[in-house]
Structure 1
Amino acid sequence: MRAEPDHQVRLLDLQEVDAELDRLNHRMRTLPEHEQVQRLDARLTELRDRLAVVETELRDLEREQRKAERDVEQVRVRAERDTRRLESGQVSSPKELESLQSEIASLARRQSELEDIVLEVMERQENAEARRAELEREVAEAEAERESADNRRSESVLRIRDELDSAAQRRARIAGEIPADLLGLYEKLREQNAGVGAAALRYGRCEGCKLELSTAELRELRTAEPDEVTRCENCRRILVRVPDSGL
């Protein structure tokens, strides 16, 4: 392939812009805010799951408390009824009187036990409410932190997109100055060689693979026509001769 020396040198400008585009795209993919937002999303999911468990526990405790309070009230009403009956003097039989007194004592013990249950449930409720308040605080903090990280990410993405747009415009302008066959070869080699399709020959070394050329290779390049498109024997990239090639 043959191409004007100026067109070959222009490949180096194109390669520089392509390298910049690759760096910008890499920055876009690896923004630290991406990881921060993902970490905070996972943290929020965990906190919200824990909060849902506590809220379910509180609902269960509220039902348990209402039941225990109803049980206390039922026992209290029954004990009051039996006490009024005892105090009214309506019971004259010693055996029935003894049975009534025993039942009142049993109801008193049962009421005390149920009241202890109510107090225990209330204590568990208090602990659960404290856990809920702490989790709500942690959720609010994580949400604020996530929003801040997302805002920083959006700002970074916008800045990088502006740089990408500017670099893409420069690339289109440079690519339009390069013959189609030379540009096609460059694009093919760039795809095959980790994004580098053309490299300068400087001081006898290929800037693409960073290897020095042999004396024989340099002699061939020295005698090649200026419009001949040369390739590095090591990496096969387009090798562009420049003033400080060392030829």
Structure 2
Amino acid sequence: MKADSAVQRGLLDLAEADAELTRIDHRRRTAPELAEIADAEKAVQARRDARVAVQTQADDLDREAAKQEKEIDAVRAREDRDRKLLDGGAGARQVADLEHELASLIKRKAALEDDLLELMERREAVEADCQHTAVELEKAEAALADVRARHQENLADLDTQQARREAERATRAATFPEALLALYERKRAAKGIGAALLRARRCGACRLELDRRVMSTIKDTAPDEVVECEECGVILVRTPESGL
């Protein structure tokens, strides 16, 4: 394939635009914020799990306290009933039974109230844990929101760079003969790089130094003839730096 040497040199600008687009894509895929976001999401989930665990513990204590209060109310009701019976003039045998039951009820009520007090103290401590886990969750969510916002800002910047580069590339690509551009695109699709500078006998794509035989062949090739690297196959662009 033939193309004016100046046109061939223009492929280097196109290759640089493509390289920059590749770098932009790489920065998008490997943005440091991605790892930060993953860590922040794990932190948020851990705080949520901790909050759920503490809240579950609080709910269990609330249910247990409610059950304890209900039992205390039942004992008090039985105690009130027995006292009314005593005050109503029960017989001697019944009085003895009621007094014995009242003594048991008072003892039972005291034990239940002690247990309830202990539950309330535990509930108070758990409530402090609930507040602490809520604060920690809020902090974790704020940190996650912050890193996501930074990531979106960086993505927006990359999108701007990409759009600018793509526009520049489209303008450059339109200046090349159709056949040469098609060859370049095939090389780029297969190798990742479509064209590279031949500098000091070294291919700018694969970085390998060409042997004397190849260099001699290239030197004897007409300037408007498109040559390719024997090692990696990309289009080799010749300039005074090529060492021919």
Tell me, yes or no, whether TM beats 0.5. yes
Report what 2:133 is aligned to.
135
CA drift at 1:5: 0.6
CA drift at 1:44: 1.9
1:136-188, CA deviations, whole angstroms, 9 ceiling, x for partnerless residues? 10111012111211221121111111111111111111111111111111111
Report what 2:222 is aligned to.
225
2 CA distance for matches of 1:76 and 1:38?
56
> Is residue 66 of structure 1 aligned with residue 92 of structure 2?
no
CA drift at 1:84: 4.9
TM-score (norm 2): 0.92
1:195-247, CA deviations, whole angstroms, 9 ceiling, x for partnerless residues? 21211111111111111111111110111011111111111111111111111
Report what 1:170 is aligned to.
168
Counterpart AA for 1:138: E
Report what 1:48 is aligned to.
48
1:89-115, CA deviations, whole angstroms, 9 ceiling, x for partnerless residues? 82442x433322221111112101211
Once the two structures are overlaid, the 10-residue window that deviates more, 225-234 or 114-123, is 114-123
1 CA distance for matches of 2:17 and 2:75?
87
CA drift at 1:82: 2.5
1 CA distance for matches of 2:18 and 2:4?
21
TM-score (norm 1): 0.91
Pair 1:181–1:89, CA change in 2 (3 A): closer
Once the two structures are overlaid, the 10-residue window that deviates more, 137-146 or 96-105, is 96-105
Counterpart AA for 1:70: K
Report what 1:7 is aligned to.
7
Task: List alignment gaps of at least 5 residues for structure 2.
Answer: none
Report what 1:236 is aligned to.
233
Counterpart AA for 1:192: A
> Is residue 90 of structure 1 aligned with residue 121 of structure 2?
no
Report what 1:121 is aligned to.
119
Counterpart AA for 2:113: E
CA drift at 1:83: 3.7
Match of 2:142 among 135, 144, 148: 144
Counterpart AA for 1:90: G
Counterpart AA for 1:115: E
Q: How many residues align?
A: 244
Counterpart AA for 2:213: A
Report what 1:197 is aligned to.
194
Task: List alignment gaps of at least 5 residues for structure 1.
Answer: none
Once the two structures are overlaid, the 10-residue window that deviates more, 76-85 or 230-239, is 76-85
1:28-79, CA deviations, whole angstroms, 9 ceiling, x for partnerless residues? 1211222222322232233223323433333333232222112112212322
2 CA distance for matches of 1:70 and 1:207?
85
What is the SS of the residue equivalent to 2:197? strand
2 CA distance for matches of 1:59 and 1:214?
80
Moved over 6 A (4+): none
Counterpart AA for 2:223: P
